[in-house]
Amino acid sequence: MNKLITTLIISVLLPLTLSAQKKYEATWESIDSRPVPEWFSDAKFGIFIHWGLFSVPAWGPLPSDGASVYDCYAEWYWSKLMNKDNKVNPLFVDFHNRNYGEKFKYQDFADQFKCEMFKPEYWAKLFRESGARYVVLTSKHHEGFTLWQSAQAWNWNSVDVGPHRDLAGELTEAVKKAGLHMGFYYSLYEWFNPLYLSDPDRYVDEHMLPQLKDLVTRYEPDIVWTDGEWDLPSERWRSTEFLAWLYNESPVRETVAVNDRWGKETRSVHGGYYTTEYDLVHEGKIESLAHPWEECRGIGSSFGYNRNEQLNDYSTSEELVHLLIDKVSSGGNLLLNIGPTADGRIPVIMQQRLADIGSWLDVNGEAIYGTRAWDKATKQPNINAFFTAKGKDLYVICTKYPDRAITVRGVGGKPKSVSLLGVDAKVEFLAAGGNVTITPPRINPADGRYAWVFKLTGAL
């Protein structure tokens, strides 16, 4: 009898449970109603990885050559080499012909993309120690070469040719084992795919959609980061159809986060979180938006590894920590890119930058992770600092250690205490009229700290 009653209860409640789960329709109104998962807004810092056949020539011009931001991208090597209308085309042609010869085709780089030094466990360990909470790998860039054995990219993937390894799968396993969120960049279009060039609609139906669904079902990523959307409107890409499948039926329907690059009209309008790129792409300042957003950029001026870059082309560790602080205090995330070499190494200078960021976050991470922008931060004309908030706590982040008292205005309440993260020293403060004046303790700030955080516990 008890078993029968239990069965009847389940049979009644199960349809109710299923009907309570929101089903998303293939319209932007419905798709946009899905909130960006909270884990993404809490994570704040991610690692972008641009890796592919472009990592073999690993070359592009520099800003010092007069190149624009986009012209410096080494991962655009094939396009710049073939596009005679591009102003930097002669630079790429000259470099290519001198080093590989006029008869050497871009496709021939596949045999040189060996990845023999690739150690996914080491990569994952480095990412974890950098303080990053998520990773986004280029599963397929605009060249169409995939880092997994895609049926739609037969003989144009890392298993059939080149390293003969499932690079996407190996890294996914290592990153998830390290406790980080794993995601994939995926280019919707392909520069020289004959099917795309002749029949884009058929390409979407027979190539792009099944390939993208295979990537999701095979590796269950927490992020789907699309790009190359600018060629067609989202209707032609059938973006809402894919996203409805992703949110309703895919194995990651409850956890996946997506960006806003789903059609020529969608950036900062539709999709998931909004994206900037070297602070470009969008009109106006995305920092003014309450919607979740993310800035992506390289440590240098390229996403793919560029052997042409010198030391002064790379941001310093201090600049990168300040960049992270700036983006997070404005309400966003930072997706910082690294460009591995063709043999599978992360350049040492990039490792060093990530290690330095991680050392700073080890001490000050509570002012970054899980925080939100403080709505009164823009009303602080007399203090050179950044602000983040979490619950009732306010964090005052100083990129230079203050040599005198600082007053934070509009706090409203009296903090229970004020402390300096990572420093065992008493911090004197005075709360009056909704303002808090902090007297920094006299310390000898260690070199390499980059920024100092005062925590105002219970101030909000």
What are 28-72's pLDDT values in tens digits? Answer: 999 999 999 999 999 999 999 999 999 999 999 998 888 888 899
112 to 50, 115, 164, 342: CA distances (angstroms): 17, 9, 12, 8
Contact 392, 436 (CB under 8 A): no
Residue 74 has pLDDT above 90, yes or no: yes
Higher pLDDT, 377 or 312: 312
- Phi and psi for 436 in degrees, rounded to 5? -125, 120
Note the pLDDT of residue 8. Answer: 41
Higher pLDDT, 285 or 257: 257
Q: Which of 330, 244, 273 has the alpha carbon at shortest distance from 36?
A: 273
Q: How confident is the model at residue 447 (pLDDT cuts 50, 70, 90)?
A: low
- Which of the residue ranges 184-193, 360-369, 402-411 would you say has the lowest mean pLDDT? 402-411
Note the pLDDT of residue 383. Answer: 80
Q: Residue 34: how many CA atoms within 13 Å on its side-chain side?
A: 30
Q: Which contacts qualify for 299-302: CB closer than 8 Å, 24 or more apart?
A: 299/336, 299/337, 299/338, 299/349, 299/350, 299/353, 300/339, 301/62, 301/63, 301/69, 301/72, 302/60, 302/72, 302/73, 302/74, 302/75, 302/339
Any idea which residue has 């040492």 for tokens? 348
Helix, strand, or coil here: 309? coil
Residue 7 has pLDDT above 60, yes or no: no
- The three-point CA angle 430-435-437 to 5° equals 40
- Phi and psi for 268 in degrees, rounded to 5? 65, 15
Q: What is the pLDDT of residues 432-444, one digit of tens each?
A: 999 999 999 988 7
Residue 390 has pLDDT above 50, yes or no: yes
Q: Which of 195, 200, 199, 198 has the alpha carbon at shortest distance from 229?
A: 200
Distance between CA atoms of 63 and 306, rounded to whole angstroms?
13
As beta bridge partners, residue 224 has 184, 258
Q: Which strand ranges, in their side-by-side order, compose the sheet holding 406-408?
A: 406-408, 435-439, 428-432
Distance between CA atoms of 346 and 379, rounded to whole angstroms?
42
Contacts of 88 (CB under 8 A, 6+ apart): 61, 67, 71, 80
Percent of the chain having pLDDT more than 90? Answer: 86
* Alpha-helical segments (H) within 130-252: 167-177, 194-198, 200-203, 209-219, 234-237, 239-248
64-94 burial: b if 16+ Cβ within 10 Å, else e: eeebeeebbbbbbbbbbbeeeebebbebbee
Note the pLDDT of residue 14. Answer: 38
Tell me the pTM.
0.94
Q: How confident is the model at residue 282 (pLDDT cuts 50, 70, 90)?
A: low
Q: Where are the beta strands (DSSP E) in 327-374?
A: 333-338, 372-373
Amino acid sitting at position 370:
G
Distance between CA atoms of 87 and 343, rounded to whole angstroms?
30
Any idea which residue has 């884990």 for tokens? 39
Tokens found for residue 164: 């003969």
Residue 116 has pLDDT above 50, yes or no: yes
How many other C-beta atoms can be found within 10 angstroms of the C-beta atom of residue 446? 11
Helix, strand, or coil here: 399? coil
**Signed CA dihedral, 110, 116, 121, 126: sign only:** negative
Residue 2 has pLDDT above 80, yes or no: no
* Alpha-helical segments (H) within 254-347: 317-329
Contacts of 243 (CB under 8 A, 6+ apart): 24, 26, 31, 258, 262, 271
